[in-house]
Amino acid sequence: MRVGADRVDQPLVVLGLDLFGHRFLRLGVLVPTPFLLAGCEKTLSTVHPAGPAAQHIATLWWVMLAGAVAIFVFTMLLLALAFRKRRDEERAEQGREGLWLAGLGLAFPLTVLGALLVYGLVIGERLMPRDHPDRVTVSAEARQWEWRFGYADRPGHATTGLLHIPAGQPVDVEITSVDVIHGFWVPRLAGKLDAIPGHVNILRIEAWEPGDYAGVSGEFSGAGYREHRFTVRAHDAAGWTAFLEGTE
């Protein structure tokens, strides 16, 4: 270690910080890996969209991830530059560092976050349930612990735990609850919307292809809510007609 009037070199400390940085990096990669892999299940994955609403949400997720990575990388570069500066260089280039740290260090993140905010508002507007000539209306009533579904095009008929919809057509789901707040969420078809007692929320969903899509109650509503699941079955044209006529 060498100590001078205007300069301090601490190779042991720098080496320790370097080793700590490598260990921290390994922990930062290993610790969240199981949690990231747990979210890769395709049946409940928001990044495997099966309809237009889910496609918008997935695109928003990727754009926000890219913005977050850009801010993180830029911030880490500024931090690395700050650590590499010697004290005498810091005194000589104080104005330049002020530009990098105070100027770009604030301007870049604020610009990215502002762009993400505008983009998020645009996507939110696209997800609104607007009028459509081929729109189908169904109802979803939650309770502990089941989902009961009704159909405007088949009055008097109801299903439990299985929601039937036509593929390729927009469907407005009128969501409510009879006891506590639940959450209606079909990750591959749309975002989550709460089921609130005494109130009806409308969620627009649509499936591109016929098939079964997993749904969950995405809101804590008491012990056992994790098993509060349902299925959305999208029919082709013939299958939907058969369901409405009761001949399925």
What value does the mean pLDDT of the chain take?
A: 78
Residue 241 confidence class, pLDDT cut points 50, 70, 90: very high
Residue with tokens 């609403």: 53
Domain identity same for 111 and 142: no
Taking only the tens place, the pLDDT of each residue in 130-176 is 777 788 999 999 998 899 999 998 888 999 999 999 999 999 999 99
Taking only the tens place, the pLDDT of each residue in 55-86 is 888 888 898 888 888 888 888 887 777 666 55
Whether 131 maps to a domain, the answer reads no
Domain identity same for 57 and 86: yes
Least confident of 18-22, 101-105, 220-224: 18-22
Taking only the tens place, the pLDDT of each residue in 190-214 is 888 999 999 999 999 999 999 999 9
Centre a 10 Å sphere on the Cβ of residue 220 and count the other Cβ atoms it contains. 12
Whether 103 maps to a domain, the answer reads yes
Whether 11 maps to a domain, the answer reads yes
Average pLDDT over residues 224-241: 89
Whether 237 maps to a domain, the answer reads yes
State the pTM of this model: 0.68
Q: What domain range includes position 12?
A: 2-126
- Cα 167 to Cα 88, 189, 213, distances in angstroms: 68, 11, 12
